[in-house]
Amino acid sequence: METASQENEEVYLDLRMKESKIRRSEVLLYDQSDYMRDIRMTVEEMLAIIYLEFMQQIKKEGNNEKVMKAILKGIGLYNR
């Protein structure tokens, strides 16, 4: 259970991406802009949302072998 002090903590992550992946993400967001009405989003904001959803999944399902394999598979380090 989170305490009030934990809820207000800020965490900063350094993320390195190839420029081609960033450009590809920008194109994705541009292509989706017609469907997002007046919502405009940066690649950084999109990555933050993905990260927060990922953390919610870990909290819900726990940090177990299935989750770890899914993470490794997602980043191309697990092929089974």
pLDDT on residue 7 = 65
Let me know if residue 29 belongs to a domain. yes
- 2 assigned to some structural domain: no
Examine residue 10 and state whether it is found in any structural domain, yes or no. no
* pLDDT one-digit tens code per residue, 8-24: 678 787 888 899 999 99
Distance (Å, whole) CA 43 – CA 51: 12
User: Is 77 in a helix, a strand, or coil?
Assistant: coil
73 has pLDDT over 90: no
20 belongs to a structural domain: yes
Give me the domain span that covers residue 31. 16-74
**Domain assignment of residue 43, yes or no:** yes
The Cα-based distances of 40 to 47, 50, 63 in angstroms read 14, 16, 33
- Asked whether residue 53 is domain-assigned, the answer is yes
Domain assignment of residue 35, yes or no: yes
Q: Does residue 79 fall inside a structural domain? A: no
pLDDT computed for residue 55 by the predictor: 82
Asked if residue 1 has pLDDT above 50, the reply is: no
Residue among 20, 46, 47 nearest 33 (CA): 46
For the chain, the domain total comes to 1
